[in-house]
C-alpha cells in the first residue's frame, strides 16, 4: 500500500471514529442522541420514519449514508447479507429484520469506534442474527461464495482501490448473488480534478467514480445486469445513485488444459489442484467462479 493510500485511509478512519465518538459520548437531543451533522443530502432523513422508529436512536444518529440500500436490495427470508462499511449498524439491523431468524446480516467496518457502537446498537435492538467484522472492504474477511446480497451505503466511493472492492464483492457472493448499493456517482464529463473541486474525499465527493467508470469496474469484476440509477443531487454533477448488479450463476470455463490455472485454481482438475487464493479451498474457488469443471 502506498503512503498516499495509507494516509487517505487513516484520514477516513479518523473522520468516522470521531463521528462514532460524537454519538456515543456527545450531548443528547430531546428524544435521544444528537445526530452527526451532515449535509441534507446525507444521513438518517433518507430512511422512512417507520424504519427510524424501530431502531435504537444511536444507530439512527450515526447514519452518514447517501441513501437507503435496504429499500432496494429486495432482501428475502433466510438470506445472508453483508454490509460494506457498516458504521453504527443501521443497515445491518434493518437487513437482519428482513432476512429473519433463518438469515444473517454481517457488517464490515475498519473503525473500532464504529464497531463498538454497532455492537451496542445490536444489543439494544435484540438482534441475534447479526455479526460485525473488523476489516477493510478491499479484503473482505469472509469465505468465497457465502453471501446472497452485498449492500453498502456511501462507502465504496471512500476506497482508494475500488477495483479490489468490486473483485472482493464478486468473490464473496454466491453464484446468482446480487448487490444493492447506495453511492455517490459523478457525471461522465467531470474530470477527477473537477470532482475534487466539488467536495473533499472524506465527504464522499472527490473519490466518486463516474457512471461509466462505475459500470466498467463492475463489468471487469464479472458482474452483469448492472443498473445505476441516480436518486438525488449531492453537488453540481454529483449524484446519490442506487447501484444494482448480479453475479452470474454460471460463467464460461476458462480455456486452460488440465493441470493449468483456471477458475481461480492451480493444477486445475488434477489431484494436486489448489486455490490461487490461500484463503479459500479449491471447491470454493470453483463455485465462486461458476466454473464448468467445478466437480
pLDDT of residue 73: 78
With beta carbons less than 8 A apart as the criterion, state whether 170 and 143 touch: no
pLDDT of residue 142: 97
pLDDT of residue 247: 98
Give the C-alpha separation, 209 to 35, whole Å: 28
pLDDT of residue 21: 60
Give the C-alpha separation, 295 to 292, whole Å: 8
pLDDT of residue 209: 95
Q: Is the dihedral of CA 172, 174, 175, 179 positive or negative?
A: negative
**Per-residue pLDDT of the chain in tens (295 residues, 90 and over written 9):** 555 566 666 666 566 556 656 656 664 433 445 444 444 544 455 555 566 566 655 666 655 556 667 777 789 999 999 999 988 888 899 999 999 999 999 999 988 888 988 898 899 889 999 999 999 999 999 999 999 999 998 889 889 899 999 999 999 999 999 999 989 999 999 999 998 888 766 666 778 999 999 999 999 999 999 999 998 888 899 998 999 999 999 754 433 444 455 667 776 666 567 777 777 777 777 666 655 454 4
pLDDT of residue 30: 34
pLDDT of residue 4: 57
pLDDT of residue 253: 41
pLDDT of residue 130: 95
With beta carbons less than 8 A apart as the criterion, state whether 144 and 172 touch: yes
pLDDT of residue 74: 85
Q: Measuring CA to CA, which residue among 134, 151, 290 is closest to residue 222?
A: 290
User: In sequence order, what are the beta bridge partners of 229?
Assistant: 242
pTM of the entire predicted model: 0.73
pLDDT of residue 261: 55
Amino acid at each position: 500500500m502506498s503512503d498516499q493510500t495509507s494516509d487517505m485511509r487513516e484520514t477516513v478512519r479518523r473522520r468516522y471514529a470521531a463521528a462514532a465518538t460524537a454519538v456515543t459520548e456527545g450531548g443528547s437531543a430531546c428524544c435521544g442522541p444528537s445526530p452527526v451533522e451532515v449535509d441534507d443530502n446525507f444521513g438518517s432523513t433518507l430512511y422512512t420514519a417507520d424504519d427510524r422508529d424501530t431502531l435504537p436512536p444511536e444507530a439512527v444518529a450515526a447514519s452518514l449514508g447517501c441513501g437507503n440500500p435496504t429499500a432496494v436490495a429486495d432482501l428475502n427470508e433466510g438470506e445472508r447479507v453483508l454490509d460494506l462499511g457498516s458504521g453504527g449498524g443501521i443497515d445491518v439491523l434493518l437487513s437482519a429484520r428482513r432476512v429473519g431468524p433463518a438469515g444473517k446480516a454481517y457488517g464490515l467496518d475498519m473503525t473500532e469506534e464504529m464497531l463498538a457502537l454497532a455492537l451496542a446498537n445490536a444489543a439494544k435492538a435484540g438482534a441475534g442474527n447479526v455479526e460485525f467484522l473488523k476489516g477493510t472492504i478491499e479484503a473482505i474477511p469472509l469465505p468465497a461464495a457465502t453471501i446472497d446480497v452485498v449492500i453498502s451505503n456511501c462507502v465504496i466511493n471512500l476506497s482508494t482501490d475500488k477495483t479490489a472492492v468490486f473483485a472482493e464483492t464478486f468473490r464473496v457472493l454466491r453464484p446468482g448473488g446480487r448487490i444493492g448499493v447506495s453511492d455517490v456517482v459523478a457525471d461522465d464529463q467531470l474530470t477527477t480534478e473537477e470532482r475534487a473541486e466539488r467536495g473533499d474525499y472524506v465527504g464522499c465527493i472527490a473519490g466518486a467514480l463516474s457512471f461509466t467508470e462505475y459500470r466498467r469496474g463492475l463489468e471487469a469484476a464479472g458482474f452483469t445486469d448492472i443498473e445505476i440509477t441516480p436518486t438525488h443531487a449531492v453537488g453540481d454533477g454529483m449524484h446519490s445513485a442506487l447501484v444494482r448488479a448480479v453475479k452470474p450463476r454460471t460463467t464460461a470455463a476458462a480455456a486452460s488444459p488440465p493441470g493449468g490455472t483456471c477458475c481461480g485454481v492451480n493444477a486445475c482438475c488434477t489431484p494436486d489442484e489448489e486455490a490461487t487464493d490461500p484463503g479459500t479451498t479449491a471447491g470454493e474457488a470453483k463455485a465462486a467462479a461458476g466454473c464448468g469443471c467445478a466437480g
